[in-house]
Structures are given as structure tokens and as C-alpha cells.
Amino acid sequence: MSLKDYLFTSESVSEGHPDKVCDRISDAIVDTFLAADPLARVACETLTTTNLIVLAGEVRGPAHVAENRDLLEKVAREAVRDIGYEQDGFHWQNAEVRIHLHAQSVDIAQGVDAAGNKDEGAGDQGIMFGYACDETDELMPAPIAFSHRILKSLAEARKGGAAGLLGPDSKSQVTLKYVDGRPVGATSVVVSTQHADAASSEDVRELVRQHVLGVLPEGWMCPEDEFYVNPTGRFVIGGPDGDCGLTGRKIIVDTYGGAAPHGGGAFSGKDPTKVDRSAAYAARYLAKNVVAAGLARKCTIQVSYAIGVSKPLSVYVDTHGTGRVDESKLATALCEVMDLSPRGIREHLSLSRPIYARTAAYGHFGRTPEADGGFSWERVDLVENLKSALGL
């Protein structure tokens, strides 16, 4: 029997968190390659620390991008500038940029590339999960949705000049109380945010409070003694100057805040032939359409792949006891309404375009589909197809 009354917590980190700085740079590099060649291959990892940015990985694309160190350095610097780092310990202009990107392995390429009668294969083996639930309008778990919104609100205020005493680096954590399986209010909220040296703890607390109140539904605010803002007291030194950052270390923040399984593969820095990214997007897309169609209140989907093989090895569906149709029939219907081969996913969701830098902070899921194809996996355009495939 599943637990109905409980507390559940999720956290988020801002675009200025050291790991998210790395995710943003890596995805900006992906966008640069895809803008030049939609079939480019990129696996770019970034490391940041005090006034140092290091890019490493494997690429295949036009020489005017792959061999243009000045361009790649400029892309990295512009990503840092957009986040807002102009600090002594980490500055978009002054940081040293080292580039160690080299050609993609021919052994990997031969397995992934389409050739003759062989379709495009998966870029690696692995398992990927997608999830959706009806707790929020965006069909995401409420704790991670609110955690993201708090930090996004703070970032918009900082960039717009309304919160000039704040720095780019911040984290949030929201604990919600569930009654009969539904969220009813917050029991604690934690926000740690970088701030100017001259800012008092009370100034920061009251500024943050307004953004939390603006995000949580009316009456959901936690008790005052469970509202924690910068619990250590000071947070002046932040970003990569305070903590080394690496691409791909915030995979739970990127997805469902721990409310659903994760296959383990990070997204940022990878072109869409890498199923770590594209198949996780497809699984979210399908799960969201299942819930949007009213076929379940919760839906988890797992898919698995082998490197170089085009078809998924398995498709698993779990509606957590909330489904209106048999799960095995639902799995069959999902495979009917969408081709889950790497090529099929890439083409169905139009993933071979420069749409990834915007995904690097505030979650890859629960976002609004954009006119240029950004967040295409958040569409709910399969609802009628799913119902038809199920005979509903």
C-alpha cells in the first residue's frame, strides 16, 4: 500500500551555481555546432573554478567551428557574461579559458551513423526515464516546480535591477506536506543566495521572502521558524570562485527533484543523437501526454537502448495505480504514436537545432514549448492519437 500522508522535498540551483555555469557553457557549445550543422556530434564537458574555464570532450562538425578556438572561447565567455559573473574571483572577461575538444572516436561514429540499410543507432547504451503527474499545471511534481520558480524569480529580479544586492549563485529547497497523496502546503523552505558584502542578513531574508510568497499558492507558506535564508549567515563568495563546477552534476535538479527514477545520464553538453538526452526528453513527452489525456494521474516511462542499435530494447510504463487503461496496452500504444528510435525521436521533436542553452537552468521539464522548437518535448499534441490508438 502506498503512503498517502507524508513530507517530500526537492531542491533547485540557479544558473549561477558552479555546476549550472558548466551546464550552460556546455550547452552553448552544443548550440554553436548545431547552428552550423544540424548533424554535428558534440560531447562537451566543462569545469570551472577560480577564474578558470576548461572545455573537454569529443566533437564532429564543420572545421570553422571545431577548429576555431577563438569562437569557442567567445561562446564560453558570453555564457558566463549572460549569467552575470563580473566578480574578482570569476569574471567573464578575465577568466582563463582552456579548450581540449578533439575529434569523435571513429569506433563510436561507426555504430551511431546510418549506413546502407543500417539506421542511425543510439549513441550509447543506457536507461532513460520520463515522468508526469497532475500536481501542477505543467504536470510536474510540485516541490521541484516551486523550487525552480523561486530561483527563477530571484534571477529575473537580479537581472532587472530589482535585487541588486544579490549575486548569481543560489539554491532553494522546498518541503511540501502531502495529505491523501496531494500537496497541501509547505512545511519548510530553504534559500541560500549569494549577496553583496554590505547586505545585511535581514535585508536578504526579506527580499527572498517576497519571492517565495509570490511563488507558493496562497496560504502555503511554511512557519516562520522553518523559513531558512542563508543558514550559515553569509554567502558573499560564490560561484566557481567558491566551489568547483562540473557539467552534469545536477541531474535530479534537471529532472523531477527525486519524485521519479533517473537513468543516471546527464543531459547538458550532448547532441541529440545521445539517448541520455533525447530519449529522456521523449519519455517525458510521452508521460506528459498520457497524463494530459486523462489516462492516468501519474505516469513513469522507462526506455532502454544499446549503442549502435536503432530500436529501443524495452519500453516500460507504470501509472502508479492511477491508470484508466491496462499498462501493457498503453506501452504498445505509445510505440504506435511515436517512433522511439534515435532518428525517430530526433525528427519527431525537431531536436537537431540550437535550442539547448536555455535548458541548462531551472529544469529541462515543466517548461513552455517555444516557437523555434525549444522545449518541444513539453507539447501535449499526442493526446488524441493516444486515445485513438487505445480505442477511446
Instruction: Write the CA distances from 133 to 83, 184, 319, integer angstroms.
Output: 31, 15, 10
Verdict on whether the full-model pTM lies above 0.75: yes
Closest by Cα among 349, 290, 348, 369 to 132:
290
Q: What is the pLDDT of residue 226?
A: 98
Please report the domains of the chain, with CATH numbers, ordered by start residue: 6-13+142-237 (3.30.300.10), 126-134+274-389 (3.30.300.10)
Q: What is the mean pLDDT of residues 348-367?
A: 98
Share of the chain above pLDDT 90, in %: 90
The per-residue DSSP string of 96-107 comes to EEEEEEEEPPHH
pLDDT bin (cut points 50, 70, 90) of residue 120 is confident
Residue 207 has pLDDT above 70, yes or no: yes
Which residues make up each annotated binding site for ATP? 17, 169-171, 234-235, 243, 249-250, 266, 270
Beta-bridge mates of residue 298: 133
Q: Which three cell numbers stand for residue 324?
A: 484508466
Residue 1 has pLDDT above 50, yes or no: no
Cβ atoms of 46 and 268 within 8 Å: the answer is no
Cβ atoms of 52 and 25 within 8 Å: the answer is no
Which residues make up each annotated binding site? 17, 19, 45, 58, 104, 169-171, 234-235, 243, 249-250, 266, 270, 274
Cβ atoms of 366 and 380 within 8 Å: the answer is no
Q: What is the mean pLDDT of residues 117-130?
A: 80
Spell out the alpha helix ranges (H) of the chain: 18-36, 63-66, 69-83, 106-112, 142-160, 201-215, 251-254, 275-292, 327-337, 342-348, 383-389
How far apart CA 381 and CA 286 sit, in angstroms, is 10
Q: What is the mean pLDDT of residues 16-37?
A: 98
Which residues make up each annotated binding site for K(+)? 45
Question: Which of helix, strand or coil describes residue 345?
Answer: helix
Q: Which three cell numbers stand for residue 314?
A: 524495452
- pLDDT tens digits for range 124-168: 889 999 999 999 999 999 999 999 999 999 999 999 998 889 999
Put residue 366 in one of left, alpha, beta given phi > 0 → left and psi -120 to 50 → alpha.
left
Share of the chain above pLDDT 70, in %: 96
How far apart CA 239 and CA 191 sit, in angstroms, is 15
Cβ–Cβ contacts within 10 Å for residue 87, how many?
21
pLDDT bin (cut points 50, 70, 90) of residue 117 is very low
Spell out the alpha helix ranges (H) of 265-326: 275-292
Cβ–Cβ contacts within 10 Å for residue 197, how many?
8
pLDDT bin (cut points 50, 70, 90) of residue 107 is low
How far apart CA 179 and CA 185 sit, in angstroms, is 10
Closest by Cα among 355, 347, 346, 348 to 373:
355
- How do 52-60 and 96-103 pair as beta strands? parallel
Residue 115 has pLDDT above 70, yes or no: no
Q: What is the pLDDT of residue 104?
A: 79
Residue 119 has pLDDT above 70, yes or no: no
Beta-bridge mates of residue 228: 190
For the ranges 30-34, 100-104, 165-169, 190-194, the lowest mean pLDDT is seen at: 100-104
- pLDDT tens digits for range 310-350: 899 999 999 999 999 999 999 999 999 999 999 999 999 99
Instruction: Write the CA distances from 30 to 22, 113, 260, 319, 369, integer angstroms.
Output: 12, 18, 27, 34, 20
Residues 6+ away with beta carbon under 8 Å from 70: none
Higher per-residue confidence, 7 vs 162? 7
N-term to C-term CA, the chain: 29
Cβ–Cβ contacts within 10 Å for residue 47, how many?
18
Cβ–Cβ contacts within 10 Å for residue 162, how many?
12
Q: What is the pLDDT of residue 110?
A: 56
Which residues make up each annotated binding site for L-methionine? 58, 104, 243, 274
Q: What is the pLDDT of residue 308?
A: 85
Cβ atoms of 280 and 345 within 8 Å: the answer is no
Which residues make up each annotated binding site for Mg(2+)? 19
Cβ atoms of 76 and 28 within 8 Å: the answer is yes
Cβ atoms of 140 and 132 within 8 Å: the answer is yes
Spell out the alpha helix ranges (H) of 225-296: 251-254, 275-292
